[in-house]
Every structure is written in structure tokens, then in C-alpha cells.
Amino acid sequence: MEAQQILSGFCPKSPSIPIVKHPFSLKFNSLPSSCPSIQSLNLEFPSGAFHPTSTAHKEVCSSSPRRIWCSRSNSTAEAKEEGHEVRSQVTVRKKKLAVFVSGGGSNFRSIHEASKWGSLHGDVHVLVTNKSECGGAEYARNNGIPVILFPKAKDGSNGLSPSDLVNTLRRFEVDFILLAGYLKLIPVELIRAYERSILNIHPSLLPAFGGKGYYGMKVHKAVVASGARFSGPTIHFVDEHFDTGRILAQRVVPVLANDTAEELAARVLKEEHQLYVEVVEALCEERIIWREDGVPLIQSKENPKEFH
């Protein structure tokens, strides 16, 4: 009994997350009978896809004059640099990811495959799409990943509202949201619920060729037509507008003299797949550090005193 009291002091219980049931429709293949708490969700669950998980712990980042720091639940070591203080951990909890897609989801597939092979310290727990029959949704179902339809369809028959989406992602205990070719504006409710936890990838060097209407092949056609000599993917945090959030990572791709939009798109996409996996790897390992002026940096894995 005394030992249990001592242990309880070191291992406080995580606060429970209230579950609010909403009367919207169901859409799934089969659902394990052991999970009655999610019967109210508008999900597509392949057989055996859901596994109960523990409550996620939030990462808290802050800053003070002349230093940056990022506190984490499992931090055990500190790396210091003049003007900076970074608390880095030896081991971190495996992160739970939600990916949003509208099309084929090639970046989603790269992230999922990296997770399966163990190069990411995180797993894709749920896919969100506005097109239930798109290639990304089909890939998710084939790999046992639950599919959520968002936003709600115009006739109101399927899909979730913004508040329902936030509650659903919380039930999945999602740590980070990754937009991978998702063409809808993210609702403010989700941005506020997942502050500094939503990433997007864009196929140009933002802030150039970004904003409403710039997506997919439209971006590459505009780049070629402009005469720009360089392009490439940008990964940025998501705010309430299209492509205006803080830039986290970029990779430069040359625009050749006789490039077509399709040729440029193929080269940029290849870099997208590699860059997104690298950034998500840093995200899951809690190596994203916020400078005091609000600029996010990636801490080097090999040398914690270096930032990208």
C-alpha cells in the first residue's frame, strides 16, 4: 500500500476527455463491439482498424529574452547554446497523426510508409478527406486507417461539422495534423484547438505563388509562365488563411529553360515526398523549436546546438 502511494505521486493520472455524442450519421464497414464510445462518429472503419489508446500529453513551448525553450513531457537532458536553451529528451512518446487529403495522397503514402518502416516515431491514426472516393481515402481503407468525411456535404447527409471534427480528433488523441493535398480551408475551430500543431505542404517557394486558387498544376503553370528560375516545396504551419502560416522548411528545385509545368511538377513532387517525411520525423521527435520572434526552427538530430 505504501509503495502504491509513492508510485502514484510520480505517475499522476491523465485527465479524462469528456465524450460528447452528436446525432449524425454512421458510415463504416465494420466496428469492433469493444468500442461502444465511438458509435456516434461518422467514420469508415475497416475491420479491426480501431485500437484504444491513452490520453495524449500536450507539448508546451515558451520563450524569454535571449533564449528559446521547448518543454516536453519526457525531457531528461538539456543542450545549451549562447542565447538559446533547448530542453531535448532521450525518449519521447510515439505521436498520433491525422492526415488530410483531397486527391491521390502521394505525400500521405510516403508518410505512412515511413511510419511502417520505423523511420518516423509516429503513426497515422485517422485520415480526413472531403472526397470519400479519392485515391488517398482508398489507400487508407486498404491499410486499416479510419476515414472521416469533412466538411459536411451540402445536403447534410454525410460529413462532420467543425466542432464535431475537433471532438472526433480529440477522441483519437491526435497530436499533429498533416495536410497533404487538402483543398479546403481549415476551420478556425480546428486551428485554435491544434495551435502550432497543423502543417501543410505547398508546391512552390512561399510566399511566391501561394494563396487562394494556387494549388496543384495551377502553381507549376504560374511558375513556368513567370520566368522564375527556382521553385520547390514549402512546409508551413497553418493559420486562418491560405498559405500564410509560418514557414518551417523549404527545398529549392531549379526551373529549367524548356520546362513544362508537368516536368517541373514531377521534380517538385519528388522533393515533397522526401522533405515532408524529414519534417514529420522532426515533429514526432519534438525537434521543432520556436524562436522568440515566432519563427519555427528544426533542431538538428546529429547536433542539438544547430538549427535549420
Residues assigned a catalytic role: 202
Cα 111 from chain centre: 10
Please give the Cα distance from 20 to 11 (Å, whole number): 27
3-class DSSP assignment, residue 192? helix
Give CA angle at 170 (167, 247), nearest 5°. Answer: 105
DSSP tag of 299: B
- 14, exposed or middle or buried, with CB in 10 Å at 0-12, 13-18, 19+? exposed
Q: Are 88 and 165 in contact (CB under 8 A)?
A: no
Please give the Cα distance from 301 to 76 (Å, whole number): 16
